[in-house]
Chains A and B, each alone.
Chain A
Amino acid sequence: MPYTMNRDLGILFFGLVANYALGQTNNLTGSPYSLFGLGVSSNSNIGINNSIGNGGYAISGNSLINNLNPASYGNLGERNFLFDFGFLTEVSEIDNGASVENRIAGNFSNVALASSLGPKSAFGLSISPFSDTGYALIGIESNIEGSFDSFSSNIFGTGALNDLRFSYGRTITDTFRTGFYTSYLFGVIEERELVDASQEFANENSLTILERNFYRGLRFGAGFQYEVTPQFTLGWTVDLATTLSAKRDRTVQKNLDLVPLQVEEVNDEDIPSFRLPTEINTGIQYNPFKGLGITLDYSLKLWNETEQRDNVGVFVDEQDYSLGVQYVADPNSFRYHKRIKYRAGINYNTGYLEVNQNPVESYFITAGMGIPLGLRSLSHLNISYGFQNRGSTTGILIEENIHTFNINFSLRDIWFVKRKIN
C-alpha cells in the first residue's frame, strides 16, 4: 500500500517538525567554544554525510538525501520519495590542561524529505540544526574595579540555529545536474549570567542577566554535479554570504540585601546582526569498482570578509578537508549481510575562531554502517560514531574530545508503482 505509506511519512514529517520546534532549546552540544558567534557548527547531518567525514558534495541523490548539494536531487528519478530523520548524542570530555569534565548532550536532530517532481527534477524539504550553543562557564573571576577584591560569575548558554531548507535539483544532461536551495535560518540563543557580588557579611547580593537573542535570515545557495566518467563525479556548491537580523529580549534581576528586585526588562531590542560568510565547496567521488565509493572534499568559508570579532576571539577563514569511503559487497544481493554498507571518514577543520593567534582546529574520525531495513527495501538505518578532537590545551585554550553517536532512518518509497513480483 504505497499511498498509505506516503501519507504516514507526511504525518511523520510534520509531527517531527513540531517536535523540533518545541525541542529547539535542548542542547546538541556542550562545547565551551559554542560561546562564540552563533555556536558551533552542527555535527548532525542528514543521510550518510556524517559517517564519511562530513563530506560528500559529489554524492548522487538517487537513493539517499544529500543535503550538501542541491544538484543531487536532480537524479532522484521519477516517482521516488525519500524520507530521513535522525538523532544525535554527543558525549564530550573537556580538558583545560589541569582537569577534565564530561558533558553529555543530545536530541532529535533532523528531518528531511525528497520527492520527485518529474523524471528529471525533484525537490527537498528539510529542517536540521545549523549551529548549536550549549556552554556553562563556572567561576569566572573578575576584579571589582576600585578594590582588590574579585567577584565570580557563571555564564550559561543554550540554544540553536535551525535551517529550514527548500532544495530543488534538475538533471540537465545524463552526466550533468544542477540545483539551488533557499534556507530560512532561525533560532534563539539564550545566555544567562549570574554574578555573585556577596561581600563579607550577610548581604548576599547577586545579579542575573538573561539575554535571549533571536536570529533570522534567508540564505541562498546553488551547486552542480558532473559525472566526468562513470567512475568519477565532480561536485561543487556555493553558499552565499548573508546577514542574520537579530533582536534581543533582556531581563535583568538582582538580589539586593536578599530582596529580589527586577532591574530591567526590555523586549525586541535591535542588536547587531550576524554575518555568515560565503562558502565554496568542492568535492569528488571516485568509484574504482562497483560497491566502493571514495569521496574527497574541500570547503572554504570566507569569515575574514565578515570582519567580525567576538570577545577575545577573531573570526578567520575556515577550511575543511574530508575523506570518506563507503563499501558494500553487493547492494542488490539477496543475502542480507552483503547489502550492509560500511563507511568511514576523516575530517580536518582549521576552525573559524582564533583566540590569541591560536586557531581552534578540530579533527574528526568517523565510522558507520548502513543497515538495510527489510529484504527488498531500499530503506536503511544508518548508524555512525564519530570522534572529534577540538582545540588544544596550549595557552588559555581548552581541548575537547567529543564522541558523537548518530542514528538516522533513511526511508525510500517508490510512488504509484505496484511491485510486479510479490
Chain B
Amino acid sequence: MLCFCITACSFESGEIPTLEVGQAFVDSNVRLVVLDTFELRMSTFKFDSIITSESNRLLFGKYSDDYFGVVEAMAFFEVIAPGMESVDGPYDIDPEAKLDSVALILGYDEYFYQDTTRLTEINVHGLLEEVIPEENAFYNTSTLKYDTVPLTTKVFTPEPFDEDSLYISLPLQFGNNLFDKILENEINDNDDLKEDLPGFVLVPGENDNASIIGFSRNEEDTYLRFFYSVPNEFDDNEEVLDLVINPFPVSPPAFHNVQSYSGGTGLDVLDDQETELMSIESNDLSFIQSGTGFATKVIFPSIKSLFNIPGTGTLLSARLQIKPQTESITDFTPLRDSLSVAVIDANNVIVQEIRTGTGPVRGVLIGEEEEFGTVLYEIPVGIFLDQKLSEQPETENALILFNENFNETVNRLVLEGEENEDYRARLILTYAIYDE
C-alpha cells in the first residue's frame, strides 16, 4: 500500500491550452497606454575631431553641399617597400637597372558621394614631414606640411565602379631622384626612404565642385610603382618596384582630413563640441555629417512626468520617430538604411553604447515599402529611457544620432526637428499600468 502511495503521482495537462476560451468574461489586469506627446528637443553639435587614421579608406575630393557648404577631403599617406622577407631586400636592385617611368596607382574602393560625372582635379604633393602622429592617431582635423608646388596635377572623371584604379604618372625626374639613391645604396631600408620621401598628400582642385571618392589603402590596390629595366644579353628584363601603404604599421601611415565650411544653415557657429544649434533655431532641422563630425543630439526634458500617470506601471516600449527631410534626399545623397545611436554626457562626449537583446540600438528606416508611406527613421529608445527613468543620481545624459562609418564617409543626413511643420519628430511610448 505504501508503494502504491509513492507511485501514485499527480498529473495535469502538460500542454498550454490554445483554444480561446473564457477570455470574453475577463479583462487583462494590465492597461497599456500609448503616449506620443512627450517633449523632446533636437540640436546639432560638432565633434572637435574624429579619428580618421583607423579607416581602411582614404577620402579625397571636394563639392559644394546645400546645407554644409564646401565639403573637402585630403588624403595623407606614406609609402614603404612591403615584405622585407627576401634576402636581397626590395632595395637591392641591379646597379645596371634603368628607370622607365614612375606612377601613383590609386585603387577605387567603390565609395563615392555627390556627382562623380563632373571633372575632378587631383594634385599630388610631396610631404615635407614624416607621417608621425602626435598622440597615436590622426584626426579629420590633422594636417602635415607639404610642398606647395604639386608634383603633378591630373584632371579626371572618377570611375569608382567601372575602373579598378586611377593611374597618375609622376615626373621622371622625381622618380630618378629616388631610384638613383636606391641604386647607389643611399636608400637601403624604409627609414632611409622616408627621409627622402616622407609621403604624399592628395589635394583637390581649389575651385572643384565635384565629388568625394574613396581610395583603398590595400597594398594590392594602391601603390607607387617604379617601372625599370635591367639590361640583359639578348633583351632587357622589365621589372617593377612597388611602394605601398604599410598594412602592418606601428603607427598610423595614412589619414584623411575632412572639413566643411561656409554652409548657409548656420553650422559654422559650431566651433566647439559643447556648442549646440537647436533645431528650432535652424529652420526646424538638425544635421548629421560623417567625416566632419556633425551629429544630432536628442534630449527628453520631461520624461519623468511619466510617473505622474496614476497607478503603478512600467515603460514597455519607446520609439523615437524622425523624418529625414525629403528635399535633402537625392540620387547623389541617398538615404542610408540605418542610423547609429549612443549615449552622450552633458559635454557631448560619447559615454555608452546602448544594446538591445540583439545588439547595438540602431535607427531603422520604416515606411519604404508602403506606396504612400512616410519614410522615417525609427529608433528603439526603451532601454535608454528606462535607464533614464531610474538613474540615481540624475544625469544630463542624452541620445546622439550619427551615421554609420562615421570616420570614413561624408554621408549627410538632414532631420526634421520636433516642431517641423512637415513631420514633427516624436517619441511614442507604451506604458503598462499593472496596479491601479
User: Which A residues are within 8 Å of any B CB, using their own CB?
Assistant: 8, 11-12, 15-16, 19, 23, 26-27, 30, 32-33, 35, 85, 87, 94-96, 99-101, 103-108, 134-142, 144-147, 149, 151, 153, 155-156, 193, 195, 197, 199-203, 205-207, 209, 252, 254-261, 263-264, 311-313, 355-356, 396-398, 409
- From 366 to 397 in chain B, residues with beta carbon under 8 angstroms from any chain A beta carbon are 366, 378, 380, 382-383, 386
Q: Are A99 and B21 in contact (CB under 8 A)?
A: yes
CA of A145 to CA of B313, assembled, Å: 14
Q: Are A257 and B357 in contact (CB under 8 A)?
A: yes
CA of A356 to CA of B25, assembled, Å: 9
Query: Which of B1, B20, B28, B432 makes the CB contact (< 8 A) with A138?
Result: B20
Segment at the A interface, from B9-17, B42-50, B164-172, B345-353: B9-17
Contacts of A203 in B (CB 8 A): 317, 319, 356, 380, 382
Query: Which of A23, A137, A252, A254 makes the CB contact (< 8 A) with B26?
Result: A137
CA of A199 to CA of B321, assembled, Å: 14
B173 at interface (Cβ–Cβ under 8 A)? no
CA of A159 to CA of B8, assembled, Å: 20
Contacts of B12 in A (CB 8 A): 26-27, 30, 104-107, 134
Among B1, B19, B364, max chain A CB count under 10 A is at B19
Closest CB-CB distance, B285 to chain A, in whole Å?
25
Closest CB-CB distance, A259 to chain B, in whole Å?
5
Q: Are A96 and B20 in contact (CB under 8 A)?
A: yes
Per-position 1/0 for B23-54, Cβ under 8 A of A: 11111111111111000000000000000000
Q: Are B382 and A207 in contact (CB under 8 A)?
A: no
Q: List 11 A-B contacts (CB under 8 A).
A: A8-B2, A96-B21, A136-B16, A136-B17, A138-B23, A197-B432, A203-B382, A252-B314, A257-B380, A311-B25, A312-B27
B122 at interface (Cβ–Cβ under 8 A)? no
Q: Are A311 and B27 in contact (CB under 8 A)?
A: yes
Given contacts A137-B21, A155-B23, A195-B28, 9 further A-B contacts (CB under 8 A): A8-B2, A96-B19, A107-B10, A108-B10, A140-B28, A142-B32, A201-B364, A252-B434, A259-B355
Q: Are A12 and B5 in contact (CB under 8 A)?
A: yes
With A15-B5, A396-B24 known to touch, is A258 a contact of B357 (CB < 8 Å)? Answer: yes
With A96-B20, A108-B8, A144-B430 known to touch, is A202 a contact of B26 (CB < 8 Å)? Answer: no
B302 at interface (Cβ–Cβ under 8 A)? no
Closest CB-CB distance, B314 to chain A, in whole Å?
5
CA of A16 to CA of B9, assembled, Å: 11
Query: Which of A8, A254, A260 makes the CB contact (< 8 A) with B314?
Result: A254
User: Which B residues are within 8 Å of any A CB, using their own CB?
Assistant: 1-2, 5, 8, 10-13, 16-36, 312, 314-317, 319, 355-358, 361, 364, 366, 378, 380, 382-383, 386, 430, 432, 434
Closest CB-CB distance, B246 to chain A, in whole Å?
42
Q: Are B17 and A138 in contact (CB under 8 A)?
A: yes
Contacts of A355 in B (CB 8 A): 25
CA of A193 to CA of B31, assembled, Å: 12
Q: Are A205 and B317 in contact (CB under 8 A)?
A: yes
Query: Which of B19, B312, B358 makes the CB contact (< 8 A) with A101?
Result: B19
Closest CB-CB distance, A266 to chain B, in whole Å?
10
Q: Are A32 and B432 in contact (CB under 8 A)?
A: no
Q: Are B32 and A103 in contact (CB under 8 A)?
A: no
Q: Are B30 and A259 in contact (CB under 8 A)?
A: no
B interface SS class: mixed
Q: Name the residue on A nearest B16 (C-beta).
A: A136
With A12-B1, A134-B12 known to touch, is A202 a contact of B21 (CB < 8 Å)? Answer: no
Query: Which of A12, A30, A107, A398 makes the CB contact (< 8 A) with B2?
Result: A12
With A101-B21, A108-B10, A205-B430 known to touch, is A146 a contact of B26 (CB < 8 Å)? Answer: no
CA of A255 to CA of B315, assembled, Å: 10
With A144-B34, A145-B31 known to touch, is A195 a contact of B2 (CB < 8 Å)? Answer: no
Q: Are B32 and A195 in contact (CB under 8 A)?
A: yes
CA of A106 to CA of B23, assembled, Å: 23
Closest CB-CB distance, A127 to chain B, in whole Å?
14
Contacts of B316 in A (CB 8 A): 195, 197, 205-207, 254, 256
With A136-B16, A197-B432 known to touch, is A398 a contact of B26 (CB < 8 Å)? Answer: no
The 6 closest A-B pairs by CB, nearest first: A258-B357, A32-B22, A101-B19, A257-B356, A107-B10, A396-B24
Closest CB-CB distance, A196 to chain B, in whole Å?
10
Contacts of A35 in B (CB 8 A): 22, 26
With A147-B34, A207-B432 known to touch, is A258 a contact of B356 (CB < 8 Å)? Answer: yes
Closest CB-CB distance, B98 to chain A, in whole Å?
64
Q: Name the residue on B nearest A111 (C-beta).
A: B5
Closest CB-CB distance, B6 to chain A, in whole Å?
8
Q: Are A257 and B361 in contact (CB under 8 A)?
A: yes
Contacts of B378 in A (CB 8 A): 201
Q: Name the residue on B nearest A92 (C-beta).
A: B13
Query: Which of B11, B19, B33, B319 makes the CB contact (< 8 A) with A146?
Result: B33
Closest CB-CB distance, A148 to chain B, in whole Å?
10
Q: Name the residue on A nearest B14 (C-beta).
A: A104
Contacts of A11 in B (CB 8 A): 2
Q: Are B17 and A103 in contact (CB under 8 A)?
A: yes
Closest CB-CB distance, A91 to chain B, in whole Å?
9
Q: Are B25 and A313 in contact (CB under 8 A)?
A: yes
Q: Name the residue on A nearest B30 (C-beta).
A: A195
CA of A327 to CA of B248, assembled, Å: 99
Q: Are B2 and A137 in contact (CB under 8 A)?
A: no
CA of A257 to CA of B434, assembled, Å: 19
Q: Name the residue on B nearest A32 (C-beta).
A: B22
CA of A234 to CA of B395, assembled, Å: 77
Closest CB-CB distance, A347 to chain B, in whole Å?
23
Query: Which of B20, B30, B33, B317 makes the CB contact (< 8 A) with A139?
Result: B20
Contacts of B21 in A (CB 8 A): 32, 94-96, 99, 101, 137-138, 398
CA of A252 to CA of B312, assembled, Å: 11
Contacts of B314 in A (CB 8 A): 207, 252, 254, 263-264
Q: Name the residue on B nearest A353 (C-beta).
A: B25
Contacts of B18 in A (CB 8 A): 101, 138
Among B20, B356, B366, max chain A CB count under 10 A is at B20
Closest CB-CB distance, A377 to chain B, in whole Å?
13
Q: Are B386 and A261 in contact (CB under 8 A)?
A: yes
CA of A30 to CA of B30, assembled, Å: 23
CA of A35 to CA of B2, assembled, Å: 35
